[in-house]
Amino acid sequence: MIILILLLCLLASHAISTNSSSFDSFANATTFQHIANSAPPTDFSWINKWAAVGDSYTAGIGSGALWTEREEDRKCSRYDKSYPGLLHDVLGHQVKLFQYKACSGDRTGQIFDQIKNLDSNLDLVVITAGGNDLCLADIIKACIFLPFQGEDKCQEVLDLAQHNIERVLMPNIRKIIYAMQPKLSYNGFIVWVLYGQFFNIENEDCATKQDWSFPRLDPVAGGLSLTIDNRKKFNQLVVNINQAIRDVIYSISPRPWSSPYIRTADWDAFMRDGLHGQYCVPGSTGQYPDPSQPYLHFFKPDTTVSGHRDLRKKDVDDLMHLANHDPLLGAKITSERHYLRDVLLATPNCPADSGSIGLGLPDRWGKYFHPNELGHKTIASFVLSEIVAQRAVILQAENPRCQANADLFQCWQQQGRQDYASADLMNENYKIYCREYRPPTGHYEKEYVDERWFNYQTPDTHWFRLTLRNGAVFDKQQCLDSFDRVINSCDGNDPENPLNWKFGGRWVRGNYIYEVGVSNSFKRPWPVIKAVDGSCRGKYKFIFSDYTLRGKGWSTADFGQKCIRPRMVGCLGKGISVFDWKYLNGAEEHDGMEWELSVRVPIATSSRCFKNNRIAFECGGFTHGCEGNG
């Protein structure tokens, strides 16, 4: 899996091999090919003055040791294993000035002030900013750690965050970029680090087997579970933040050679798919560190069910302080008005802004939902890659590339995933996906990702994702061939899988990445269903009968509309007065059945349609006939 470290060829370059040993273990585990280049974009001796500005992601809260013992560094929670700290080690002794201004909790108003205090003629500025403007601290508090105000309060802060993307974040990012521009040297540039999606959404273990809230502080109310649906909301917010940042940057600097030079370091997909570094990865235990998930990229508390029982009094006091006053994430409640009035930046109006002014939580709590030391190594590698790429543009030289020794082919079942779907459905839908795919019509800087979901909110929910990289052009035939291989080369000829269920997989083909994933919206039986099954029960009521049918392994993807209902109409005529279909979430609680159908039909027609199994057989199923007096 480590072979997927697609940008760490930089670690083999001269500049890195002669510096920081903190990258050694990553580099040694990586297989790559460094393409020789006559130009020197990997020579960092041109960087004499540089700066790091932004929020707690740039400050690196909790990663390593404090940057220095100075009050300013302690107050801003700057740490030496942050990605700027790692870059500082790599860039070498030729650096004459490094200004580390990033401060945990700062919003774009304060970050604007950081930039105003920078020196001029900077060769490089790295930045992460935006999360605090979307009230991320309030979201984590209301939806995860202290979720005692219910689903409505959680949704309220999520809605506010989405509202703030356009109202606050995008206009403020534009002003920040314009503030940085005059601080740059002639060939200086900006690398803007994007955020990573926190949650894996493959199964419900995180909701059912882990405890992320602290309900023992509230003997009455219970917390919200980190269900797949809730995790999708948090992830989508991160996706929207990143897209907003990209959109503003592209509107100001649409080409690598446009002024000002700005590049984005997007480490999300690699962390998510390459190293499985998110929370809630299947098989994770909830411990931290987690022996079952060595590549987790974020700090977290112990979320095992017993993990909160032995909280120290100091921890309880801190959490109660969090519940009543300051926001999480090391953020500080400070008066922003004197910043914002001067620069005319929009204010986010987060719920926590009405709390009391204080110093915030200690870093042992504030670091949660931030990159850990491994996360910062990944970010630093991506920043270095963007530095080299932009330097190659400036020098009009070839950009050194990092390539795996061979294309990568993965099957998800072999990695322990337990979501599966119908082979017939997948083989029908990948052809639709390739036929209806719309290639990008505009510019994409590094990669273009397209994803489409099928049979949504059924046990057979699955999706197809195609990623184009480095200017690759869509090829319809390659699309068809690639998805066919991913679907049908995995999970075949298995005696334990006689119904040929498919789990999906991933094929990296140079600049093309083809992925098939299954995300069961309703929990399917495990181990896999080996035979279709079902039940039927009828109840006589005067001139009509009520029937309840259940099934597993058949008619699971269409709410009964494509096969069962048409055949009922054909068999019973138009006498169906009730057709109530529902999927059963948690199959083990329903004798392994995946769906239930309630119908009301004329009494005279029931025996020729249900008791003889006619409809079930025509739809590829089975029900053992019908019980009851219907």
- pLDDT (tens digit per residue) in 22-46: 333 333 332 222 333 344 798 999 9
Alpha-helical regions (H) of 77-183: 83-91, 108-116, 136-140, 150-164, 170-180
Residue 219 binned pLDDT confidence (cut-offs 50, 70, 90): very low
Whether the predicted pLDDT of 555 surpasses 80: yes
Pairing mode of beta strands 462-469, 447-454: antiparallel
Q: What pLDDT, on a 0 to 100 scale, did the predictor assign at position 307?
A: 59
Q: What pLDDT, on a 0 to 100 scale, did the predictor assign at position 326?
A: 39
Q: Please compute the mean of the pLDDT values over residues 519-544 and round it to a whole number.
A: 87
Whether the predicted pLDDT of 54 surpasses 60: yes
Whether the predicted pLDDT of 187 surpasses 90: yes
Q: Please compute the mean of the pLDDT values over residues 69-93 and round it to a whole number.
A: 94
Whether the predicted pLDDT of 216 surpasses 60: no
Cis ω before 171 (30° cut-off from 0):
no
Lookup: tokens for 353: 């802004």
Helix (H) or strand (E) holding 100: strand 97-100
Q: What is the pLDDT of residues 340-389, one digit of tens each?
A: 334 456 676 776 554 322 335 688 888 999 999 999 999 999 999 999 98
Q: What pLDDT, on a 0 to 100 scale, did the predictor assign at position 469?
A: 87
Report whether 267 contacts 237 (CB < 8 A): no
Residues paired with 464 in a beta bridge: 452, 516
Residue 330 binned pLDDT confidence (cut-offs 50, 70, 90): very low
Q: What pLDDT, on a 0 to 100 scale, did the predictor assign at position 614?
A: 85
Phi, psi of 300 (to 5 degrees): -155, 160
Q: Please compute the mean of the pLDDT values over residues 280-302 and round it to a whole number.
A: 93
- Between 327 and 351, where is the model more confident? 351
Cis ω before 289 (30° cut-off from 0):
yes
- Could you identify the residue written with the tokens 């999300």? 268
- Between 345 and 210, where is the model more confident? 210
Q: Minimum mean pLDDT among 20-34, 129-143, 384-398: which range?
A: 20-34
Whether the predicted pLDDT of 179 surpasses 90: yes
Percent of the chain surpassing pLDDT 70: 79
Other beta carbons within 10 angstroms of residue 255's beta carbon come to 11
Q: What is the pLDDT of residues 305-316, one digit of tens each?
A: 775 544 444 554
Lookup: tokens for 558: 């269409």
Rounded to a whole number, what is the largest CA-CA distance in the chain?
Answer: 93
CA separation, residue 44 to residues 65, 95, 116, 188 (Å): 26, 9, 26, 12
Whether the predicted pLDDT of 604 surpasses 70: no
Q: What pLDDT, on a 0 to 100 scale, did the predictor assign at position 365?
A: 81
Per-position DSSP letters for 358-376, written without gaps between them:
-----HHHHTTTSB-HHHH
- Between 409 and 380, where is the model more confident? 380
Alpha-helical regions (H) of 209-312: 228-252, 268-269
| Average pLDDT score over the chain | 81
The rounded distance, in Å, linking the Cα atoms of 389 and 543 is 77
Residue 333 binned pLDDT confidence (cut-offs 50, 70, 90): very low
Whether the predicted pLDDT of 177 surpasses 70: yes
Q: Which of 183-187, 486-490, 546-550, 558-562 has the highest mean pLDDT?
A: 183-187
Helix (H, G, I), strand (E, B) or coil at 34: strand
DSSP 8-state secondary structure symbol assigned to residue 309: T
Q: What pLDDT, on a 0 to 100 scale, did the predictor assign at position 334?
A: 38
Whether the predicted pLDDT of 551 surpasses 90: yes
Whether the predicted pLDDT of 514 surpasses 70: yes
Q: Assign 3-state DSSP to the chain and report helix, strand, coil percentages, each to 5.
A: 40, 20, 45
Q: Which of 515-529, 577-591, 600-614 has the highest mean pLDDT?
A: 515-529
Residues paired with 581 in a beta bridge: 597
Whether the predicted pLDDT of 592 surpasses 90: no
Whether the predicted pLDDT of 416 surpasses 80: no
Lookup: tokens for 268: 């999300």
CA separation, residue 47 to residues 37, 87, 180, 509 (Å): 20, 11, 17, 35
Distance, first Cα to last Cα, the chain: 57
The rounded distance, in Å, linking the Cα atoms of 131 and 169 is 9
Q: What pLDDT, on a 0 to 100 scale, did the predictor assign at position 213?
A: 75
Whether the predicted pLDDT of 576 surpasses 50: yes
379 CB-side CA count, 13 A? 30
Q: What pLDDT, on a 0 to 100 scale, did the predictor assign at position 61?
A: 96
Q: What pLDDT, on a 0 to 100 scale, did the predictor assign at position 217?
A: 45
Residue 75 binned pLDDT confidence (cut-offs 50, 70, 90): very high
Alpha-helical regions (H) of 124-190: 136-140, 150-164, 170-180
Q: What pLDDT, on a 0 to 100 scale, did the predictor assign at position 375?
A: 97
Q: At what angle do helices 373-395 and 83-91 cross, to 10 degrees?
A: 50
The rounded distance, in Å, linking the Cα atoms of 208 and 226 is 8
Q: What pLDDT, on a 0 to 100 scale, did the predictor assign at position 127?
A: 98
Residue 401 binned pLDDT confidence (cut-offs 50, 70, 90): low
Q: What pLDDT, on a 0 to 100 scale, did the predictor assign at position 223?
A: 57
> Could you tell me the sign of the dihedral formed by the alpha carbons of 587, 588, 592, 596, in that order?
negative
- Between 610 and 182, where is the model more confident? 182
The rounded distance, in Å, linking the Cα atoms of 534 and 259 is 65
Phi, psi of 148 (to 5 degrees): -95, 0
Residue 166 binned pLDDT confidence (cut-offs 50, 70, 90): confident
From start to end of 462-607, where are the E strands? 462-469, 505-509, 512-518, 533-541, 544-552, 578-583, 595-602
Q: What is the pLDDT of residues 223-271, one digit of tens each?
A: 578 899 889 988 989 988 998 999 999 899 988 888 899 999 999 988 9
Per-position DSSP letters for 388-442, written without gaps between them:
HHHHHHHHT-PPP-EE-SS-EEEEGGGGT----B-HHHHHHHHHHHHHH-----S
- Could you identify the residue written with the tokens 């999360």? 131
The rounded distance, in Å, linking the Cα atoms of 228 and 201 is 5
Q: What pLDDT, on a 0 to 100 scale, did the predictor assign at position 7?
A: 41
Residue 12 binned pLDDT confidence (cut-offs 50, 70, 90): very low
Q: Minimum mean pLDDT among 224-228, 291-295, 323-327, 380-384: which range?
A: 323-327
Lookup: tokens for 65: 């040791």
Whether the predicted pLDDT of 575 surpasses 80: no
Residue 13 binned pLDDT confidence (cut-offs 50, 70, 90): very low
Phi, psi of 556 (to 5 degrees): -95, -5
Q: Please state the separation of Cα 523 from the chain's center in Å.
A: 21
pTM of the predicted model as reported, rounded to 2 decimal places: 0.59
The rounded distance, in Å, linking the Cα atoms of 134 and 148 is 21
Whether the predicted pLDDT of 21 surpasses 60: no
Whether the predicted pLDDT of 591 surpasses 50: yes
CA separation, residue 527 to residues 168, 496, 523 (Å): 48, 9, 12
Residue type, 31: T
Q: What pLDDT, on a 0 to 100 scale, did the predictor assign at position 345?
A: 67
Percent of the chain surpassing pLDDT 90: 46
Other beta carbons within 10 angstroms of residue 142's beta carbon come to 25
Q: What pLDDT, on a 0 to 100 scale, did the predictor assign at position 5?
A: 38
Whether the predicted pLDDT of 479 surpasses 60: yes
Q: What pLDDT, on a 0 to 100 scale, did the predictor assign at position 490?
A: 86
Q: What is the pLDDT of residues 111-131, one digit of tens each?
A: 999 999 999 999 999 999 998
Whether the predicted pLDDT of 512 surpasses 70: yes
Whether the predicted pLDDT of 561 surpasses 50: yes
